[in-house]
Structure 1
Amino acid sequence: MRYLFPAMALAMAAAVPASAQQTEDQCSALRDTVLDAGFVTSARVMPAADTLPAYCEIRATARPAISIEVRLPMEGWNGKYYQAGCGGLCGILGRADAGGGWVNAMKPGLERGYATATSDSGHHGLSVTDGSWAMNNPNAERDWGWRSIGETHRVAQALIGAFYEGASEQAIFQGCSTGGRMAHVAAQRYPELFDGIISGAPAMDYTGLVATKMAWLTQANTAEDGSQILGPGEATLIGDAVMSQCDGVDGSEDGLIADPRACEIDLSALACEAEDTPSCLSEDESATLAKWRQGPQSQDGTQLYPGGIPEGSEPFWWLWLTGNAQGAGRLVPAFNTDFGRYMAFPTDPGPAWTPAEFDFETDPARLATMAEVYNGDSPDLSAFRAAGGKMIVWHGWADAIVTPYKTVDWYEKAAALAGSEEALKENVALFMVPGLDHCGILPGPDGISATALDPMTPLETWLAEGTVPTSIMAQ
C-alpha cells in the first residue's frame, strides 16, 4: 500500500528509500510544514544512541489535542513506516520508548530503518490509569477510541513526504494491551492503512473487560467492611498449589502451564479447618477465588464476559489484583474506577462513583453507546483480509488482567466468519504463550517476558515473502 498526500507536492515523488544522509537543516525545516487541522511544534536531530540510529524527532499536534511524535532516520530510511500504540488510558507521549522495551514503542521500527510515529491518543493524563480527562469530553473519548490512529498516520505520512521527498511504500502497526485494542480497531476501521499489524494481549473490548469484568473482580475481592479479601499471601499459596497440580498436564514439568483450560484444580486441601491462617483459605477467600475463575455472570447464570482469571497467572496477581506488601500494584481496581467514573457510560457519573455501584443486571446494556466508540472486538476482518493485510496476534496464557480467553474466543469467531481457520490463517496468525504475563511486563517463574518475543521479524518475512509465521520467539 502507498499513501500520497496531494497537499504536499514533494510527496508526489516516487517512494524511494533515502540512501543519502539527511541534513540537520532539512530536519529543522520541518517546523514550517503546513498540516491540515494540525501543526508542528518542534523538530530536532537526536544523535545515535545504543541500538538506535540518529533521527529527526518531530513533535506535532493534530486538532483538537492529539500529541504526536514522529522519528525519521537521518540516513538509511528503508522506505517504510512503523506506528506504535500506547498502553492503559494512554496520555503520556512516548512513555513506551522511555522504558527501553519494544512493546508499544517505536524502537523496533527505528532500529530497522523505518520512519516511526506514536501518539498520546488525544489527551494528557497524569498516569495510564487516569481517566479524568474524559469527563464530559466526547471529543477526547473519540480520539482515544479510534481517531488518533488515523490522525497519527496522516501527520506522519505528511512529514515523511516532506523529509524524504516520497511517501512510504508499506506501513506496520504494533501495540499491546490498549495498543492491542488499537491494532484491532486499525484493522476494522482503517483496513487499508496498514499492511501488517502486530496485536499483543489486546484489550479489544474495553466496556466488557474494564467496566464489566474488572468490576466483577473488584467486587468479589471486597468484604462487607470494605477490606480486601485475597492478598499477596493467598496469591502465593494458590499459585504454588496450582503449579503442583497443573505443571505436568502438558507432558512436561517445566514450570509452565501450556493451556490452563486443560487443568482441573482441586484446592479443597487448602480450606481452613478452624481459624483462618496464612497457610489456608477461608470461606470468603475460596468464594472470591471461585468468582475470579468463573468471570462475570448475571443472576440467571449468563456469562457476561468470556472466562475468568487463568490458572498460572498467580505470580503476577500482585501487580494487577492483590497488591504487594509494599502497597504497590492493584491496577485492576484503579483502571475500573476511573473507566467507570469518566468513560464507560454515555453520561459520566463522575468522581463519586465506585466499582461497588456496578450493577451486573442493568449496567452491561448501558455500555453499548461507548462500546461503539472504543471497542475493536468485531471478528469481521473481511475488509482487512481483502486488502491483503497480515496480522500477528499474541497473548500470554498467564495474563491476569486481559483474559486470554477473550482472544481465543475472538479468533474462533473470526475463523468461523472467514469460512475456516485455514482461510483465516492466510491473514491472521495467533500465538498463545505459556507462562507469559500481560504484555510480558513481569518476568515469569521461568524468566519469560517480552524480551523473549520478536513478532517483528516473522511479520516482515510474511509481508516480503509470503511465509506464514510459525513462531514469535526471539532467536
Structure 2
Amino acid sequence: MKAIVPAMALAMAAAVPAQAQEGAERSEGQCSALRNTVMDAAYVTSARVMPAADTLPSYCEVRVSARPAISIEVRLPMAGWNGKYYQAGCGGFCGILGRADAGGGWVNAMRPGLERGYATATSDSGHHALGVTDGTWAMSNPAAERDWGWRSIGETHRVAQALIGEFYDGASDQSIFQGCSTGGRMAVKAAHRYPDLFDGIIAGAPALDYTGLVGTAMSWMVQANTDDEGKQIIGHKQADIIGAEVIAQCDDVDGSTDGVIADPRACEIDYSVLECGSDNQNACLTDAQFETLAKWRQGPQNKAGEQLYPGGIPEGSEPFWWLWLTGNEQGAGRVGPAFAENFGRYMAFANDPGSSWTPLDFDFETDPAAMNDAAWTYNADSPDLSAFRNRGGKMIVWQGWADAIVTPYKTVEWFEHAGRLAGGADNLSENVALFMVPGLDHCGILPGANGIGADALDPMTPLEAWLNEDVPPTSIMARSPMGAPVEAPSETTEDAPVAD
C-alpha cells in the first residue's frame, strides 16, 4: 500500500523507485540541501546531520513550519532507510516539539521508528505552550484548535513525505502512526479523518472523547473532591488507605496474589471496614471521603441519574492517584484538575470563559451539550472504522486497567461498539486488536506494583508482523512482570486480548 504524497514526490518516485534508495547512504550536503525544499504553505527552517547516539543511527534532522503555526520535525536516516515512514503523536495539549524524544521512552516518540530504520516525524500539533496542561494558546483561536484537533496529523504526514521524496528520491511504501493519550486520540482520529494515510496505527490509552473526558468527567472528579471551603477531600494519604484495602480484598480474585488487579470489573469492595473506629483512627475515611470515593467510582451523572461518561476511576489505580488526582506531599501531581481547568477556560466552549473559570463552574445539566462544537473538532470516539478497515489498515489499541485519568471503561465500550458495527468481534479482529494491561498506569508513565510500565510493552513488533507477514497480534508485552522476555502469547478474555 502506498502512502499519499505530494505530486512532486510521486513524480520522483515514478522515475526512481523508493526501493532503489533503501539503505543507500546519504551525504551531509544532501541533508543541508533540504533547506531549499519548496512546499505549499510550509517552509524549512533548518536541516542538519545529527550523529549516531545510544540506540539511534545518524539522521538528518529537518525542522519545518507549516502554516499557520505547526512546528514539525522530520528525522531521516543517513543510511539504512527501510523505505518506510513512522509518525508519532504528542501528549496532553502538546505544544512542545519533540517532547517525548527528550527522554529515553518510546511513547509518543520517534525513537521506535528511527531505531528500526524508518523515516520519522512528529509535531507540536500547531502551537507553542509552556507545558502540556497549558491551554492559553486556544483562547479565541479556532484555527489552533482545529490544528490540535486533527489538521496537524495530515500536515505532518504531507511535509514528511515531501522531504522523504527529496532526500531518498522516492516515496515511502508504508506508513505507521503511534501515539498515547492525546497521541492515542490522534491515532484513532487519523483512521477516521485520513484513512488512506497510515497502513498501521498504534493507539495507546486513547483520550477518544475529549469533551466527555476532560470536560465532563474530570470536572466531576474535581467537584466531588472539593469541600465547601474549597479544600481537597481525598488526598494522597487516603489514596494509600483505599488502595491497600482494594488490594487486600480484590488481589486474588483473578487467581493470582501479585499486587495487581487483572480486571477491576470483577472487584466488589466492602469499604465499611474503613469506617472510623477506636482501633483504626489512622487508617479510616470520613463520611465526606466515602462520598467522594463513591462518586469517583460511579463517574459523572446528571440530576436524572443519566451516565454522562462511561464508568469511573478503576480499582487498582490508587497507587497512581497522586500524579493524576490528589497530588503528593511535595505538591507534585494533580494533572487531571489542571487539564480540566485549562480545557474549560480556553478549549471547551464556543465562547471561552477565560482564566476566571474553574471546574467547580461546570454545569452537568447544560455544559455537556455546550461542548458540541469542540466535540466535532477534537473527539475520535466514533466506532465506525470502516474506511480504515476497508483499505486494509491494521490498528493495535492498548491501555492499562489501572489508568486513573483516561479511565479504561470508555475504551472497552468503544471497542465493543466498533465490533458490532463491523458485524461482530471476529470481523473487527481482522483489522483492530485491543490489549488491556493489568496494573498499568496511564501510558505506563509510573511503574506498577508488578514492575510493569511502558518499557515492558512493545506494540511495534507485533504491528510490523501483522502488516508485513499477516500474523495477527497475540501480545504487546516486551517482557514479563519479573523482567524476562515474553515467550508465549497472553491469555484472552471475552472482551479483548489481555497482556499479562
Q: TM-score, normalised by structure 2?
A: 0.94
Shift, 1:71, TM fit: 0.2
The unaligned stretches of length 5 or more in structure 1 are none
CA-to-partner distance for each residue in 1:154-204, whole Å, 9 max, x for gaps?
000000000000000000000000000000100000011100000000001
2:24–2:81 Cα contact (<8 Å) kept:
no
The count of aligned residue pairs is 475
More displaced stretch, 333-342 vs 6-15: 6-15
Shift, 1:275, TM fit: 12
Question: 1:469 is matched with which residue?
Answer: 473
1:11–1:158 Cα contact (<8 Å) kept:
no
Question: 1:220 is matched with which residue?
Answer: 224
Letter in 2 for 1:453: L
Shift, 1:462, TM fit: 0.2
- Equivalent-residue separation in structure 2 for 1:183 and 1:261 (angstroms): 27
Shift, 1:256, TM fit: 1.1
1:11–1:162 Cα contact (<8 Å) kept:
no
SS of aligned partner of 2:399: strand
CA-to-partner distance for each residue in 1:4-57, whole Å, 9 max, x for gaps?
422345344322142221000000000000010000000000000000000000
Task: Name which of 6, 15, 33 aligns with 2:18.
Answer: 15
SS of aligned partner of 2:18: coil
Question: 2:308 is matched with which residue?
Answer: 304
2:397–2:434 Cα contact (<8 Å) kept:
yes
SS of aligned partner of 2:243: helix
Shift, 1:276, TM fit: 9.8
1:135–1:350 Cα contact (<8 Å) kept:
yes
CA-to-partner distance for each residue in 1:134-160, whole Å, 9 max, x for gaps?
000000000000000000000000000
Q: TM-score, normalised by structure 1?
A: 0.99
CA-to-partner distance for each residue in 1:186-243, whole Å, 9 max, x for gaps?
0000011100000000001110000000000000000000000000000000000000
CA-to-partner distance for each residue in 1:100-153, whole Å, 9 max, x for gaps?
100000000000000000000000000000000000000000000000000000
Matches within 5 A, 1:35-434: 35-273=39-277, 277-434=281-438
Letter in 2 for 1:266: D
1:4–1:11 Cα contact (<8 Å) kept:
no
Shift, 1:99, TM fit: 1.3
Shift, 1:346, TM fit: 1.0
1:84–1:105 Cα contact (<8 Å) kept:
yes
1:104–1:174 Cα contact (<8 Å) kept:
yes
The unaligned stretches of length 5 or more in structure 2 are 479-484, 486-500
Judged with a 3 Å threshold, the aligned counterparts in structure 2 of structure 1 residues 275 and 219 are, in CA distance, closer, same or farther, namely: farther
- Equivalent-residue separation in structure 1 for 2:207 and 2:214 (angstroms): 8
2:5–2:158 Cα contact (<8 Å) kept:
no
1:184–1:199 Cα contact (<8 Å) kept:
yes
- Equivalent-residue separation in structure 2 for 1:375 and 1:19 (angstroms): 39
1:459 aligned onto 2:459: no
Shift, 1:284, TM fit: 0.3
- Equivalent-residue separation in structure 1 for 2:430 and 2:257 (angstroms): 34
Question: 2:488 is matched with which residue?
Answer: none
Letter in 1 for 2:8: A
- Equivalent-residue separation in structure 2 for 1:264 and 1:251 (angstroms): 15
Q: CA RMSD in A?
A: 1.1
Shift, 1:277, TM fit: 4.4
- Equivalent-residue separation in structure 2 for 1:5 and 1:375 (angstroms): 28
- Equivalent-residue separation in structure 2 for 1:199 and 1:435 (angstroms): 18
Shift, 1:278, TM fit: 3.6
- Equivalent-residue separation in structure 1 for 2:356 and 2:223 (angstroms): 16
Letter in 2 for 1:5: P
